[in-house]
Amino acid sequence: MRLNGQEGEFASRLRIFFQLIRKSDYRLGFQIRPSIAFYQKTDHEHILLWLKERLVSGSLRRRPTGISDYTIVQACEVSRVLRVLQPYVRLKQQQVRLGLEILEELPATAADPQRFLALCKRVDEFRDLNYSKKRTVTSATVYEHLRALGLLERAEDEVCEPAYRTDNAACPAAATMNA
């Protein structure tokens, strides 16, 4: 796909992000959701329409704030678009590479809690790359959930709370030892 010299226009308006989303109907309780978004003043949304015509996926939204955004969220489409944009992206090359690596691994993690958790840790890397401060669901959240479901074993180097706690909530293994 040729972008006809417009590629410089997208660098500052492009956002690549991956989120961990709670999903009770998913086998492991979480979804890794990839997203690509382009932002532009609604007065100039023709640039986003032009881009949408070329990328042929995603949706365009006009916000009440006077900003329009063009967003792509389906994993296979995000992967395809990242590959198309990769030669043109300069400032967010790390995000593109990391995103493609995560998307490549994603199908293999659906039923494997260990691999899924490892991939969630890669998603956490976007927090630093994108200077994200509001992220509340992290790989630590996923870890605790998977442990509570009994899908992960306690790591040998995992430290339990001191034995003087009476509720043993900090370490389920301690509760079975004191029973």
Q: What is the set of domains in the chain, with CATH numbers?
A: 7-151 (3.10.28.10)
Reported as a pLDDT band with limits 50, 70 and 90, residue 4 is low
* Phi–psi pair at 50, nearest 5 degrees: -60, -45
Q: Which of 4-8, 85-89, 118-122 has the lowest mean pLDDT?
A: 4-8
Q: Please tell me the predicted confidence (pLDDT) of residue 178.
A: 39
What is the C-alpha to C-alpha distance for residues 158 and 148, in angstroms, rounded to an integer? 15
Closest CA to 40 of 30, 32, 50, 31: 50
Closest CA to 124 of 14, 15, 13, 17: 17
Reported as a pLDDT band with limits 50, 70 and 90, residue 34 is very high
Q: Please tell me the predicted confidence (pLDDT) of residue 2.
A: 52
Q: Please tell me the predicted confidence (pLDDT) of residue 179.
A: 40
Q: Which residues of 56-94 are buried (b: 16+ CB within 10 A; e: fewer)?
A: eebeeeeeeeeebbbebeebebbbbbbeebeebbeebee
What is the C-alpha to C-alpha distance for residues 139 and 55, in angstroms, rounded to an integer? 31
User: Is a pLDDT exceeding 50 seen at residue 82?
Assistant: yes
H helices present in the chain, as ranges = 7-10, 46-55, 75-85, 93-105, 113-129, 139-148, 172-177
Q: Which of 11-15, 67-71, 156-160, 173-177 has the lowest mean pLDDT?
A: 173-177
Closest CA to 140 of 87, 130, 127, 95: 127
Average pLDDT of span 7-11:
50
